[in-house]
């Protein structure tokens, strides 16, 4: 092609280099082809003045930033509980000797110790103000309180209060005592001290408690009005410990303890816990700072514990006191054994009216 001439296809070109018309001098040249400087049929030549490329570059940049933020958030959500777990103290909690065989579902033993010591290795055990069995499986999750004054057979020590087992032999003897007297195999052990309860409640910004009447209990350092109210960590601790104000003593106290656990479970499971990184970090590390777990308890086991706690304290779960004969917290031999057998068989959906807040029969 030359300026001002024609090409092999018969197109004429002016001095400006633009195609004009087919050349009559080349009758054999094809005339059905587009000039070389035009787009193909049906197409459109793209004109880019530079702004479109810049916009596309900005969009790609924002997309990369969002992807990096999401990835960082996921790493934080996974790494925080793993780090908290790595700081938890552990104790031997699996007893030697004969034990119940493997059972369906998972049963956790939750113990509340009155120890305020920083020694979380079991050297300063204190006493167990709270003893609960938490079971999850095929049926509804169940939280079953065992009053600390319950009279049971403690291996090697005869018949005495159940919390004496912890004082005599720590987690191992307490687990052995519970398995002996209930027939339920304990799969996981979780213990929380006073400081841990206070820290977790404060980390979630407090919980709601609803005492039916005002409580003044100097021993529990508690002075609150009746009715529903927000409680900080120290108030929640005093509420879960108080017993002298109530005529039924230990029976009311275990109900208060489950109310506190329900409040914690509700707040921890709140979407705000997972949205607010400060709160999420505080909940995980506040609990880890004073929680002791069995040596065989894994991060997966703790995750199952959290889900089971939420399930038991939620609308579809069961929150009960072991069936008792009277306010002296003597276990009702027939009703309590039925509950134990149903838990061991992972048939919590059949417990029905055997589950009552105070352990006394309904009606």
- How many Å separate Cα 265 from the centre of its chain? 8
Is residue 251 within 8 A of residue 358, CB to CB? The reply is yes
pLDDT band at 61 (very low <50, low <70, confident <90, very high): confident
Domain ranges of the chain: 1-44, 89-354
- How many Å separate Cα 232 from the centre of its chain? 20
Please give the DSSP secondary-structure letter assigned to residue 159: E
Q: Which two tokens stand for residue 319?
A: 């929150």
219 vs 50, residue with greater confidence: 219
For every residue of 11-79, DSSP letters joined together read EEE-TTS-EEEE-TT-TTS--SSPPTTSPPTT-------SHHHHHHHHHHHHHHHHHHHHHHHHHHHHH
Tell me the CATH number of domain 89-354, given options 3.40.250.10, 3.90.1150.10, 3.40.630.190, 3.40.30.10: 3.40.630.190
Q: pLDDT tens across 212-252, in order? A: 888 888 888 888 998 999 999 899 988 888 876 555 567 78
Measured distance CA(25)–CA(109) in Å, rounded:
102
Indicate if the alpha-carbon torsion angle 102, 108, 113, 115 is positive or negative: positive
Contacts for 68 with CB less than 8 Å, ≥ 6 apart: none
Q: Does 206 have pLDDT greater than 80?
A: yes
Measured distance CA(342)–CA(31) in Å, rounded:
92
Contacts for 233 with CB less than 8 Å, ≥ 6 apart: 197, 198, 199, 200, 201, 202, 206
Measured distance CA(285)–CA(291) in Å, rounded:
10
Mean pLDDT of the chain: 81
pLDDT band at 324 (very low <50, low <70, confident <90, very high): very high
Determine the average pLDDT of the residues in 110-125: 62
Q: pLDDT tens across 277-292, in order? A: 888 888 888 778 778 8
pLDDT at 271: 83
Q: What's the pTM value of the predicted model, to 2 decimals?
A: 0.75
């Amino acid at each position: 092609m030359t300026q001002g001439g024609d090409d092999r296809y018969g197109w004429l070109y002016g001095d400006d280099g633009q195609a004009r018309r087919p050349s009559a001098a080349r009758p054999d040249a094809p005339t059905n082809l587009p000039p070389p400087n035009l787009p193909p049929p049906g197409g459109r030549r793209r004109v880019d003045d530079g702004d479109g490329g810049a916009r596309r570059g900005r969009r790609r940049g924002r997309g990369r930033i969002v992807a990096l933020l999401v990835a960082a958030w996921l790493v934080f959500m996974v790494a925080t509980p793993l780090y908290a777990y790595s700081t938890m103290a552990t104790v031997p909690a699996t007893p030697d000797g004969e034990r119940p065989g493997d059972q369906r579902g998972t049963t956790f033993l939750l113990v509340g110790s009155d120890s305020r010591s920083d020694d979380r290795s079991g050297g300063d055990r204190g006493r167990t103000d709270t003893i609960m069995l938490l079971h999850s499986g095929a049926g509804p999750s169940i939280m079953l309180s065992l009053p600390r004054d319950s009279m049971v057979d403690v291996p090697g020590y005869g018949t005495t209060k159940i919390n004496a087992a912890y004082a005599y032999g720590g987690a191992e003897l307490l687990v052995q005592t519970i398995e002996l007297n209930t027939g339920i195999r304990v799969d996981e052990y979780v213990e929380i001290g006073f400081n841990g309860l206070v820290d977790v409640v404060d980390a979630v910004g407090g919980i709601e408690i609803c005492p039916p009447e005002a409580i003044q209990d100097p021993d529990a350092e508690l002075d609150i009005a009746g009715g529903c109210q927000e409680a900080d960590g120290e108030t929640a601790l005093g509420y879960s410990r108080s017993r002298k104000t109530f005529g039924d003593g230990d029976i009311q106290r275990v109900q208060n303890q489950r109310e506190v656990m329900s409040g914690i479970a509700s707040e921890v499971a709140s979407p705000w816990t997972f949205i607010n990184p400060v709160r999420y970090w505080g909940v995980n590390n506040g609990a880890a700072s004073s929680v002791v777990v069995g040596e065989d308890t894994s991060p997966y086991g703790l995750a199952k514990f959290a889900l089971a706690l939420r399930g038991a304290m939620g609308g579809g779960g069961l929150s009960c006191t072991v069936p008792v004969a009277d306010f002296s917290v003597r276990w009702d031999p027939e009703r309590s054994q039925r509950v134990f057998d149903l838990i061991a068989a992972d048939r919590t959906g059949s417990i029905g009216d055997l589950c009552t807040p105070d352990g006394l029969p309904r009606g």
